[in-house]
Amino acid sequence: MASLVERFGGGLATILIGLVAVWLVAMVLAPNLMMIDYALRPNLPPAAIGGPDDVYSLDNITYLAQESVHRTIFFKTVWASALVALATFVVCYPLAFWLAQNATPNQTAVVLIALTVPFWINEVLRTLAWYILLAFRGPLNALLLSVGIIDEPVRWYGNGGVLAGMIYAYILFMLFPIYNSIESLDKSQLEAARDLGASTLRIHRRIVIPHAKAGIATGCVFTFMLAAGSYVAPALLGAPGSRWFTEIIYNWFFEGGDWNRGAAYALVLLVLCLLVVLLALRIARVNLADVAK
Amino acid sequence: MRWNAEAIPRFLFALYMGAFFLYLFAPLAVMGAATFNASRFPTVTPWRGTTLEWFAALAKDGAMWQALWTSFVVAFFVVAVALPVGTAAALVLTSLHARARSLLYALMVSPLLTPGVVIGIATLVLWRRVGVGGGVFLIVVAQASFIICYVMLMIAARLQRFDRTQEEAALGLGASKFMVFRRVLLPFLRPALYAAGVLAVLQSIENYNTTLFVRGFDTPLTVYIATKVRTGLTPAVNALALIMIAATVIGAIAYEVARRRQTRRG
Amino acid sequence: MSHSVELTNVGMTFGATRAVGDVSFAVEAGEFFSILGPSGCGKTTILRMIAGFLQPTEGRIAIGGRDMSGLGPNQRPTAMIFQSLALFPLMPVWENIAFGLEARGASKAERRAKADDLLKLIALEGFGDRMPGELSGGQRQRVAIARALAVEPQVLLLDEPLSALDLKLRQHMRAELRALQKRTGVTFIYITHDQSEALAMSDRVAVMSAGVLQQVGAPRDLYESPRTPFVASFVGETNAISGTVVEVSDTVATIDTAHGRMSGRSGEGLKSGGTARLYVRPEALVPGLDVENRLTATIERSDFEGAFALLHGRLADGSPLVASVGNTALAEAPGPGESAAFGFETRHAVVLADG
C-alpha cells in the first residue's frame, strides 16, 4: 500500500485501490460467499425465511449424493470433460509444435489468423454450425450416405456430437498456451537430441513435453474447466442420454425453482474445478503465475 | 538432408493439417452455404434452390436487432468498467511486494478458473438478496467480474516491459506523480489498453454461459440465437453468422496485409 | 565559494542492511565531483538520496544551503541522468528535452524554443522531431543531458551514464561532458566504478567502499597520497608489502618486512610495533636503482602495453610484485626468468596502518 502511494500519490493510489477493492470484494468474493450461503440453506417460502426452519445444513449437497440420476450425470460430466481436454490436446499438439518450431513467420501469421476466424463469431454460433452439420438429415449424413460409408443416417446428436462441438469450441484455449511454451524452446536442443540419435517420439517425450508442461497444464486446465461449465454444446448437440451437469443446475434455477439446490450444485461444480486446477498445478509442478500467462 | 526418410512423416503431417483445417472450416462453410438455401430449416441437403430471401428475413427480424443492440449496450458498459478496473488491478499488483503479490494474484485470476455458469449464479443470488433482479445491469456486473481478469493480465504483461526509471526520470525533472502517470505510464500502456478493449468487447458479445443466468428479461444476441434453436431456427440466423464471418475474414486479411507491409518497410 | 551540496552524517539502512553509513562531504558550486567505488559500495544509494528517490535514515542533505529532508525528487533543484538514460520512447526528442518545462507549466512555444536552444548546445539541431529510438547511442546520451539541463538544475546527478557506450565513444563523451560542465557552470555529481573516468574528468573524487566514505580529494591527491589501504589499492595499481612499524615520525615511517627494512611517507594512526603495509606504485619501482628501499624479485613475465611494459615478478616469499618500465628504458629491463633488484624513493611510497 505504501509503495502504491509513493508511486502514484495519495489521490490516485486511493482510486486504484478503491477500484480493485470494489471488484474483488463486491464482484468476486461476495457473490461466491452468497452462493455458499444459498447452498447451505433450505428452500423455503418467503414467509419462512429467517424462521426456525432457516438453518444451515448440508442437505442440498447430500441430496446430490443420493439422487442417482444427478450423481451419474455429475460423474459423467467430470470424466467427459477430462476426455474433451485429452482429445483437444491430441488434436492441438502437433499443430502447436509445428507453429512454434518449424513454420516460417509468415506461415505462423496466416495459420494463427485462420485459427482465430471461427473464434471471432461466438460460441453459440460455432455450436450452431455443428448443429446444422450433424443434423439427422443434415450434410454429414448425406455425404456419408452418398459415398456409401453408411447405409442409414446416424444420430450424431449425443455423446459424439457434444465431444466434436466442445473440442471445436476450445481449440484455441489449448493451442495458444502450448504454442507459447514450445516457442521458448531453443531449436538447438532438438537438433542436439536428433544429433545424439533420439527418435522423434523420444524427442517429444523427453524434451518438448517437459519443456512445455506449464503450457500443456494451462491448456488442459482451461479446457477441462470450460467443458465442465459448458452449457451450449450439450444443450444443442446433446441427446436426452447425454445431459450435462450445467443443464441440471439451470433447471433448478429456472424450471425447478429451487435456487438453494441450484446454488449447491454450482458450488460442487466450482469446488471440482478448483480441485482440478490444484491437481494439475501439482502434477505439472507449476504455479499460478505460469498458468495465467 | 535425408529427404527420403522424412517423406512419410511429411505426408502424415500434411494429412493431419488437412484434417485439422477441414474440421475447423467445414462447419463454417456449411453454415454459410445454408444461408442461400431456400429451405426453412438451415441445411445444405437437400438444396431447395438458391435464394437471398434469408438476408431480407434477417433485416426484418426486429427482435434480432433488439438483441444485437442489447449486446452492444452490455459490451459498452463492460469495457467502461473493465478497462479502468483491470488497469488498476495490474498497477496495484506490480507495485506490491512479492509475498502480498502472489496472494492477491491468486484472488485476481480466480474468476478465470471459475466456470461461467457459477459466476452467473453467484452474481444472481447476491443481487437478489439486495433486491436487484436479472437484466442488463447484472449482465454487465457478471461479465465484468471476469473480463477484468483478461484486461488485468494484458496490462500486467505490458507493464513487465516498462522501465521504471522512466518514472524516476520524469519525477526528477519536476513532474508531479499524476503527470508521470498521464504522460509517461498511460502512453506506454495505450497499445495494451486498445487490445484489451477489443478483447473485452469480443468476450462480452460472445458470452453465453454467464449471461444466461443473469439476463432476467433482457435478451442479448447469444441468448436470442440459442432461443431460436428451440422456437424455430431459420437460415436468417445463418445470414447473420455469414455476415459476421465475412467481416472477420476481411478484417483478418486487412490486418495481415497491413502487417506484411509494415514488416517489409521495417 | 558556497557549498552546493552538503551531506552531514548521512546513513541509509534497508531492513537489516546498512547500505551507507555516516557519510559527510561537501560539493562546491560549479564543481565536477565524482563518487568512485566498486559496485555495491553505496555510491548509487548516495546519488539517489541526493536526488530525492530515497530519504536517508540518518543525517541530512542540504542543497544550496537548504535542507532537503522530506522533499521528493520533483521538489529538488537537481536533475538526474540515468544509467539507462530513461528517455521517454514515445515522445519525440524535443518533448523529451522540454518535459521538465512542461511539468513547470511552460507554454508550448516556450518549450519548443528552449528545446531548440538545447539541441544547438548538444549539436543535434534539427533532430527535435525524431523519436529517441531513431538516434545513435551517443546522440541519445546527449539528449538525456539536454533534458536534464533544460530544467536549469543547480546540481546535475549522473549515474554511470557512459557505461553502455563502446570505448571510443566513451572517451569522446568524457571530453564532451567535461566541456559542457565548464560551459554551463552547473555542479556535476558523477557516479562511476571506472577509476580512470573519475580521475580524468573530476575536480575532486570521493572514494567509497562498503558504504563508508574512504577519502575525498583531487585526483592526484588520491593517487599519490592515499589515506586508507582501500584507496591505495583501488585507485591505480599498487604493490603492498606488510611489516611491523619500527619508527614513525610526522612525515616518514619505517617498517620491517620479510624483504628488509624500508620507509615511506607516514599515514595516520601508525604506532611503533603495530602492523602496517607499505604501498608502492609500479612506476615508482626502478630496476637497479641503488637506494635504501630495495626489493628483489624473480621476473615471470613482461606484458608489453605500448608506452610501457609491466614486469610481473615474485618476491622471495612468493608474493607478487609489479613494476612498470617506460618504453625507452625497456632494452635494459630484466627479462623473464631473471632475478632483478628494484629500488624506490621514500617519497614515492606510503605506509598505512592495517585497518
C-alpha gyration radius of chain C: 24
Q: pLDDT at residue C20 above 50?
A: yes
Identify whether the C-beta of residue C256 lies closer than 8 Å to the C-beta of residue C243.
yes
Q: What is the mean pLDDT of chain A?
A: 89
- Give the pLDDT confidence score for residue C47 in this predicted structure: 92
Which residues from chain A sit within 8 angstroms of residue B217, using beta carbons? none
pLDDT for the residue A291: 59
pLDDT digits (tens, 9 = 90+) for B19-34: 999 999 999 999 999 9
DSSP, collapsed to helix, strand or coil, labels residue C136 as: coil
Interface test with B, best of A4, A7, A269 (most B CBs within 10 A): A7
Per-residue confidence (pLDDT) for residue B265, from 0 to 100: 61
What does the pLDDT average to over A108-129?
Answer: 85
pLDDT value, residue C317: 85
What pLDDT does residue C180 have?
Answer: 87
How confident is the model at residue B5, as a pLDDT? Answer: 64
User: Is B175–C53 a contact, with Cβ atoms under 8 angstroms apart?
Assistant: no
Residue B79, pLDDT > 70, answer: yes
Map residue A184 onto helix, strand or coil: coil
Q: Say how many residues make up chain B.
A: 266
Label the pairing between strands C320-326 and C155-159: unpaired
The mean per-residue pLDDT over the stretch C216-235 comes to 90
- Beta strand C286-287 with C339-343 is antiparallel
Residue B138 has pLDDT above 70, yes or no: yes
β-strands C204-209, C212-217 pairing: antiparallel
- pLDDT on residue B1: 45
Q: How many CB atoms lie within 10 A of CB A12?
A: 19
Q: To the nearest whole number, what is the mean pLDDT of chain B?
A: 90
Closest partner residue to B125 (CB to CB) among A259, A287, A291 is A259
Taking the mean position of all CA atoms in its chain, how far away is CA A271? 14
Sheet strand arrangement including C17-28: C17-28, C3-14, C58-63, C66-67
Q: Which residues contact C113 (CB under 8 A, 6 or more apart)?
A: none
Nearest Cα of chain C lies from the Cα of B107 at a distance, in angstroms, of: 29
DSSP 8-state assignment for residue A121: S
| Residue C336 backbone dihedrals phi, psi, to 5 degrees | -55, 140
CA distance C25 to chain B (A): 22
- Encode pLDDT of C43-69 as tens digits: 999 999 999 888 899 999 999 888 888
Q: Model confidence at C2, in pLDDT bands (50, 70, 90)?
A: low
With a cut of 90, say whether residue B73 has pLDDT above it.
Answer: yes
Can you say how many angstroms the Cα of residue C195 is from the centroid of all Cα atoms in its chain? Answer: 5
The mean pLDDT value for B244-253 works out to 86
C179 to chain B, minimum CA–CA distance in Å?
23
Residue type, B114: T
According to DSSP, the β-strands at C155-159 and C187-192 are: parallel
Identify the three-state secondary structure at position C205: strand
Q: Which of residues 141-160 of C touch B (CB under 8 A)?
A: 147-148, 150-151, 157
Which residues does residue C207 pair with via DSSP β-bridges, in sequence order? C36, C215
pLDDT tens for C203-213 read 999 999 988 89
Q: What is the CA radius of gyration of chain A?
A: 24
DSSP per-residue string spanning C71-135? --GGGSSEEEE-TT----TTS-HHHHHTHHHHHTT--HHHHHHHHHHHHHHTT-TT-TTS-GGGS
pLDDT at B170: 92
Is the per-residue pLDDT at A109 higher than 80?
yes
Q: Which residues contact B166 (CB under 8 A, 6 or more apart)?
A: B184, B188, C86, C87, C88
Closest partner residue to C86 (CB to CB) among B166, B177, B183 is B166
Q: Write the CA distances from C82 to C73, C92, C329, integer angstroms.
A: 14, 19, 45
pLDDT band at A171 (very low <50, low <70, confident <90, very high): very high
Contact B221, B95 (CB under 8 A): no
Q: Is the pLDDT of residue A282 over 60?
A: yes
**Range in A58-67, C192-201, C265-274 with the lowest mean pLDDT:** C265-274
Q: Which residue is closest to C78 within chain B, CA to CA? A: B172
C294-304, strands of its sheet edge to edge? C286-287, C339-343, C294-304, C308-315, C320-326
In tens, the pLDDT along C332-353 reads: 778 888 888 888 888 899 998 8
- pLDDT tens for C121-176 read 888 888 989 999 899 888 998 899 999 988 888 999 999 888 877 888 888 888 88
Question: What is the predicted pLDDT for the residue at B120?
Answer: 95
- From chain A residues 203-242, the ones with a CB under 8 A of any chain B CB are 221, 225-226, 228-232, 235-236
Task: Quickly state the pLDDT bin for B263 (edges 50, 70, 90).
Answer: confident
The backbone region for C70, taken as left when phi is positive above 0, alpha when psi lies in -120 to 50, beta otherwise, is left
Q: How far apart are CA C19 and CA B264, in angstroms?
A: 51
- In this prediction, residue A66 carries a pLDDT of 92
Instruction: Write out the DSSP string of A221-277.
Output: HHHHHHHHT--HHHHHH--GGG--HHHHHHHHHHTS--HHHHHHHHHHHHHHHHHHH
Q: Which of B71-75, C226-230, C339-343 has the highest mean pLDDT?
A: B71-75
pLDDT at position B4 is: 60
Q: At what angle do helices A159-183 and A105-120 cross, to 10 degrees?
A: 140
* Contact (CB, 8 A) for C335 and C309: no
The DSSP secondary structure of C252-280, one letter per residue, reads EEEEEETTEEEEEEE-TT--TT-EEEEEE
pLDDT of residue B187: 93
Q: What is the pLDDT of residue C1?
A: 45
Q: B interface mutation test: which of C82, C83, C147, C189 has the most B CBs within 10 A? A: C82
Q: Closest Cα to residue B208, out of B198, B219, B196?
A: B219
Residue among B27, B43, B118 whose CB faces A229 most closely: B118
H helix or E strand, kind and range, residue C303: strand C294-304
| C84·B163 Cβ contact <8 A | yes
Q: Which distant-in-sequence residues (6+ apart) come within 8 Å of C171 by Cβ?
A: none
